[in-house]
Each structure stands twice: as C-alpha cells, then as structure tokens.
Structure 1
C-alpha cells in the first residue's frame, strides 16, 4: 500500500543515489546541497513513522522498508564520507575515526541478520527507545560531517560531527548488545 508514510520512506531510499552522487567528488557547494537534502531526508524519517501512527497507516511494507531506508542511507553516507575529501585533501572520516564508522556498519549488518533469523522463529524484536536515540545521533553526526565539507574554515563543525560519530558508535554497541542478548535466548 502506497500511503503517504510509505511514500516518505521510499523517498529516503530514492534519495540515496543522489546523496552518493553529490558526495562523489564534492565541492563546498555540493556539500551544502547534500546537507540540505540530507536534512530533508532525515526529517522524513521522523514524519513517516509519526504519520503512520497518527493516521493508523502502519503497514507491513512500512515496517519492512523503514529500517532498510535508514540503514542504506547511513551506510552509503559513511562510505562516501570516508572517501570524500575536505578542501585540505584529508578525508572527512579518517584515521581512528574510521573505527566508530565501522562499528556502526558492522552493528547494522549483525542486527539485520539477527532480526532475519528471529523472524524465521516468529520472534519480534521491537526497536527500543535507545535505538531510536542511536539513529538520531547517527543522523546528527553524519549531517555535521557533511556540513563540515561546506564550511572548511569552521573546524568546530567537523569536530562536532566526529564527537557525535563516536557517541553514536557507543550507543550502537549498547543497543547491538541488547539485541544480541535478546536473540541469544532463542538460539540452541
């Protein structure tokens, strides 16, 4: 069913190739355009769920697509920020800061696999409030890192993005452990 919430979710998925294209060989203007698009896409993440609940339009399609949309957007942006360069020639995410990015990517793969396994056992693992905060912090971190490319003379924006990325990785590990612990109860 293509309700407004589902269309918003689909728009997030369709925005990913545009975000990737804009981050391919970005100029400061490309980073700014990417930041604006990224913010719009991030806002739809909130509104698709809100509208689905408010109007009683929660659907299986939406429940399936929403986490996928989040994961592919976060994964694509992380990969592009590892390869994208600031005006100084340094990658946006580099050095030890690749560790929280990698932690986020690996957790998403593990939790997705765990959810698929548990679904085969008819076990539902609801999204926790902490996991929602984790997603929000990831979106803020990546948004700040994208914005940092458009304002290279404002190093503090990049620092905020990196600090938020580390904080998001910490929440990622906590929520990943919670999901894994829940899943272990259903394994032989």
Structure 2
C-alpha cells in the first residue's frame, strides 16, 4: 500500500471513530459541539479524500476499498450513539433503515463484483444526495442545541427521515439494476 494524501485522510477518518465515541460520552459542557465538530471533520475528509484522489490522480485499490468502509463505520457509529442517546422508535427506524441498507448494498456490490457486474451497482446521484443529507442530519442531531431560532434537532430529524426515504429509494434503484443478475438461472 502506498501512503498518499487521500489514503492518509481515510485512515484519519477511521482513527477519529474512537475519539468521536469518547468525546460523545465525556460529561462536559460543549461535548455535543466537539462531537459534531469531529463528525463534521470526518464528513469533510470523506469528500476531500475522493476529490484529492481524482484531482491528484492518486486513486488506489486500497483507497477504493477503505473509503466506503470508513464512511459506513463513522455513520453507523454515530447512528448507534444517537439511538442510544434517544432510545425511541422514532430514532431507531431511520437508523435501522440506513445501517441495514448499507450492509445490504455492500453485500450486493461484493457479489456483483464477483460475477463481473460491479458497474451495474455503481454509486448513483441519488446515493450521493442521500449521503449528503444523511451527514447533515447526523451533524445537526449530534449538536442538538438550537442555534438562535433555528431548530437544530427538528431539522436534523426531518433530514434523517428524508435520508431514510432516499436510502430506500436508492436501494430499490440498485436492486433493480442488479435484478437480472440476481434472478439468472445457473
């Protein structure tokens, strides 16, 4: 593995996960701000490592593998912590949808790659919109304090539910694209 800026950013994002968890549980004023800042930093590095890999022409098999893993680990960790902090059906439903979809689509992509059909389930525009909205939702929910008259928590919940709907929609798009391969007789 060659260490380049995109791969270092991805590894940094994974390294931030335990720090993020510890800060989430620390009992000090402003822990929610620092937790949101850490998640925001991870979200920015998610965008930045992909941008730099393309811009600097430093794409690698390691980076292509690790980048989505780092993203899914951070999002799943944040969602689990938020559900634990807000133990209700209202929080659990979108979290289960988002985490479940990530597991299902990762498995689908792996299987499609094995049969040489990976391009059929490449990342779509709706998936990118879903990811952006999901990151905004989690960031707002982690911060949770109103900013002036801006209802951070409420807007975060609305964004989380819209992201969950887009999650289901994008999963349907991926499954429809993969359906011929899934139903092909051997």
Q: Which has the higher contact order (CA 8 A, sep 6+)?
A: 1
C-alpha change, 1:136 and 1:32, in structure 2 (3 Å) is same
How many angstroms apart in 2 are the aligned matches of 1:170 and 1:79?
19
Structure 1 partner of 2:115: 121
TM-score (norm 1): 0.89
How many angstroms apart in 2 are the aligned matches of 1:121 and 1:82?
37
Deviation at 1:95, TM superposition (A): 3.0
How many angstroms apart in 2 are the aligned matches of 1:101 and 1:108?
11
Deviation at 1:164, TM superposition (A): 0.4
Alignment of 1:10-159 (within 5 A): 10-24=11-25, 26-84=27-85, 91=86, 94-124=88-118, 125-148=121-144, 150=145, 156-159=151-154
The answer to whether the Cα contact below 8 Å between 2:83 and 2:91 also exists between their aligned partners in 1 is: no
Question: Unaligned stretches of 5+ in structure 1?
Answer: 85-90
RMSD (CA atoms)? 1.9
How many angstroms apart in 1 are the aligned matches of 2:68 and 2:146?
31
- How many residues are aligned here? 180
State the Cα deviation string for residues 134-159 of structure 1 (Å, max 9, x = none): 111110000000010x5599781100
- 1:182 is aligned, of 166, 177, 183, to 177
State the Cα deviation string for residues 69-105 of structure 1 (Å, max 9, x = none): 1111000000001112xxxxxx2x6332321111101
Question: Is the aligned partner of 1:2 residue 2:3?
Answer: yes
State the Cα deviation string for residues 37-93 of structure 1 (Å, max 9, x = none): 111111111111111111111111111111111111000000001112xxxxxx2x6
